[in-house]
Chain A
């Protein structure tokens, strides 16, 4: 249970080696945390994430085998995690960026990222929502992206998966409105992580700990949508209104 001062006891991360999610877990008030489940594909990254969180003093960090694309397994995995104990905060953080040019030359690769980012999120998100609904409390944090706000030539496959995910999460939040369970959509701009390494930096680029901070403030305030950094909300408001012929010509 989240207590009267907003401190959680348990967290589930789907996409257990996500840097934004791990930064969030690290930044959460930890005096009451006694269970953190990092769900993801077995990897060196996942193992070292457990070690890092444990070393930083967080109690009860464990892993669970989870593959976003293996949607048939989601129900069992998520039920097992929630059967063990109530989960106060779920962070849906898995996702791939990929390379737009490769997608255009090999559409199979585009299907893969669409399956992970969108289909996997719809499947696991609905199972999580069912369990949050049953336990009568808890928050689902969905890591979307400003890339979903408007399609761009340079990453429209990725952008379209995030647009789909974002719309899904908004609707899910409305479905759960007033049920004790809560969905918060997080739209970060460019974040310096492994995923974006080597790419030219966009305006208002941030680091994972900044996004983590915004997530924690947003959760405390019960927000349904946040941008990170917060000012991106206004920038994206403008970006969305730029006519296509002009937008096309803007540097991406």
Chain B
């Protein structure tokens, strides 16, 4: 640790001096930064060393920083930037991938799609690591059919709070509790270093996509229920400006060879996602406002046909449209943004319309408003998805009255038996969290057995008193 040059200082070590490995970290929403000592481990031994020599502020693993809030930052702590360990192997015979925790879905897709395999679950970005996918128990457009990422993991290797290596599996009676506490455990049970998960066979790197517009929310939700029964992947985008709640449902399947023209068949498994642009380094605040939102939402709605079946799209266009613009999170300006994502049971579908209406009322523009139906939950105590509806909205933090409106929505969500997604959360109260994750105590018991000295913590854990 060498010191930065400071004029007129002696060699005495000042507690105020910066060291070279310090870095201000935020989540994807670029709010509430904190300083951490960032290390890049290159071996399991490096991870163990960091844990055994942890300072008072503890240790936390960080992947590609796609959590919106404070899940992958920890002020004053040692933060292990895991993408430095990113090797993986595909076993086509068993259709499994064994990957270092720092390997990204992007890297894995590039490696396995040409061999005719696809990841079991992908979120709206492929720029997430395997470790992060497990820690947040991520979901995708196929949750109603396939569940979340953790449900496809057959075993994982983790370094616990004492520095010991543990291999956990959902089917091993001796450690399945620890496995499920780690799935959705936000990195607080240990540092995941490797995992094996199932992959699915595909015939092509293309998607057969059906599109359907809904002119109001009721119609949209009815069509979604219908679409769920017929498609493996489905999601709806909602025009957050429209009072009717109109939107577009996109559903799809991996395209089979006989769905492709003969020209495309020869290159069916070519996977070449492109980054089209990078957002500029500095973008002033206020660019995302009611006017630009209205224009965007209108154009996006009109861009889609009323109804169309069997379009052939690339994997990137179907699953990861935003990955085409690197660092798109900068468009919200220096004040940053948040994503509000909740789930409510099927019986509380009305909360969707109410949430959209309340946010419209405070003029909180969202250009990414996504509605999706979840299938049943998995056994993980802190996993977010459960059977019902989930709505996600990106909102700039500068909107006046936002804090009160979201607190009110929290109440509504909690009263309806729902909850918020920790990977997106940057503002809920500890009370809200405890109320809506009733299995917290069960998780905490397992966690303290895995991390008896409380080495693993994060800004999110401190904020929510986990």
Q: Are A7 and B15 in contact (CB under 8 A)?
A: no
A-B pairs with CB below 8 Å: how many?
A: 86
Interface of A: prevailing SS? loop
- The residues of B that contact A4 with a CB separation of less than 8 Å are 29, 31-32, 69-70, 336, 338, 397, 426-427
Whole-angstrom CA separation of A179 from B75 in the bound complex: 10
- B73, closest chain A residue (CB): A136
> Smallest Cβ distance from B72 to chain A, in angstroms?
14
> Smallest Cβ distance from A34 to chain B, in angstroms?
8
Q: Are A133 and B427 in contact (CB under 8 A)?
A: no
A1, A134, A178 interface centre (most CB from chain B within 10 Å): A1
Q: Are B76 and A134 in contact (CB under 8 A)?
A: yes
Interface string of A165-202 (1 = CB under 8 A from B): 00000000001101111000000000000000000000
- The residues of B that contact A134 with a CB separation of less than 8 Å are 15, 56-57, 76
- The residues of A that contact B463 with a CB separation of less than 8 Å are 1, 3, 9
**Interface residue? A2 (CB, 8 A):** yes
**Interface residue? B16 (CB, 8 A):** yes
> Smallest Cβ distance from A179 to chain B, in angstroms?
6
Q: Are A32 and B31 in contact (CB under 8 A)?
A: no
Q: Are B427 and A129 in contact (CB under 8 A)?
A: no
Contacting chain A: which of B33-41, B137-145, B167-175, B230-238?
B33-41
Q: Are A137 and B34 in contact (CB under 8 A)?
A: yes
**Interface residue? B22 (CB, 8 A):** yes
**Interface residue? B402 (CB, 8 A):** yes
**Interface residue? B18 (CB, 8 A):** yes
> Smallest Cβ distance from B426 to chain A, in angstroms?
3
Interface string of B437-466 (1 = CB under 8 A from A): 000000000000000000000010011000
- The size bracket of the interface on A is 20 to 34
Interface string of A121-155 (1 = CB under 8 A from B): 00000000110011111000000000000000000
**Interface residue? A209 (CB, 8 A):** no
> Smallest Cβ distance from B403 to chain A, in angstroms?
5
Known: A29-B403, A135-B57. A180 touches B33 (CB 8 A): yes
Question: Could you pull out 23 A-B pairs where Cβ atoms are within 8 angstroms?
Answer: A1-B70, A1-B75, A1-B462, A1-B463, A3-B70, A3-B427, A4-B31, A4-B338, A4-B426, A5-B397, A31-B404, A31-B407, A32-B429, A86-B75, A130-B16, A135-B57, A136-B34, A136-B35, A137-B34, A137-B75, A178-B24, A180-B24, A180-B75
Q: A5-B406, A31-B404, A136-B35 are in contact. List 4 more A-B contacts (CB 8 A).
A: A1-B32, A7-B403, A133-B15, A137-B459
> Smallest Cβ distance from B427 to chain A, in angstroms?
4
- The residues of A that contact B15 with a CB separation of less than 8 Å are 130, 133-134
Whole-angstrom CA separation of A175 from B15 in the bound complex: 10
Interface string of A1-33 (1 = CB under 8 A from B): 111111101000000000000000000010110
- A129, closest chain B residue (CB): B16
Q: Are A5 and B462 in contact (CB under 8 A)?
A: no
Q: Are A31 and B429 in contact (CB under 8 A)?
A: yes
- The residues of B that contact A32 with a CB separation of less than 8 Å are 429
- Among the listed A5, A34, A179, which residue makes an inter-chain contact with B427, where contact means beta carbons less than 8 Å apart? A5
- A126, closest chain B residue (CB): B16
Known: A31-B403, A86-B75, A86-B462. A180 touches B35 (CB 8 A): yes
- The residues of B that contact A5 with a CB separation of less than 8 Å are 31, 338, 397, 402-403, 406, 427
Interface string of A22-50 (1 = CB under 8 A from B): 00000001011010000000000000000
Q: Are A133 and B403 in contact (CB under 8 A)?
A: no
Whole-angstrom CA separation of A51 from B429 in the bound complex: 24
> Smallest Cβ distance from A213 to chain B, in angstroms?
15
> Smallest Cβ distance from B416 to chain A, in angstroms?
20
- The residues of A that contact B407 with a CB separation of less than 8 Å are 31
- The 3 A-B pairs at the shortest CB distance, nearest first, are namely A136-B75, A180-B35, A4-B426
> Smallest Cβ distance from A59 to chain B, in angstroms?
10
Whole-angstrom CA separation of A77 from B192 in the bound complex: 38
- The residues of B that contact A2 with a CB separation of less than 8 Å are 32
- A133, closest chain B residue (CB): B16
B residues 392-406 with Cβ under 8 Å of A? 397, 402-404, 406
Interface string of B76-87 (1 = CB under 8 A from A): 110000000000
- Among the listed A135, A137, A178, which residue makes an inter-chain contact with B18, where contact means beta carbons less than 8 Å apart? A178
Whole-angstrom CA separation of A4 from B34 in the bound complex: 12
Whole-angstrom CA separation of A99 from B56 in the bound complex: 46
Q: Are A136 and B36 in contact (CB under 8 A)?
A: yes
Q: Are A3 and B462 in contact (CB under 8 A)?
A: no
- The residues of B that contact A7 with a CB separation of less than 8 Å are 403, 427
- The residues of A that contact B70 with a CB separation of less than 8 Å are 1, 3-4
Known: A7-B403, A136-B76. A180 touches B427 (CB 8 A): no
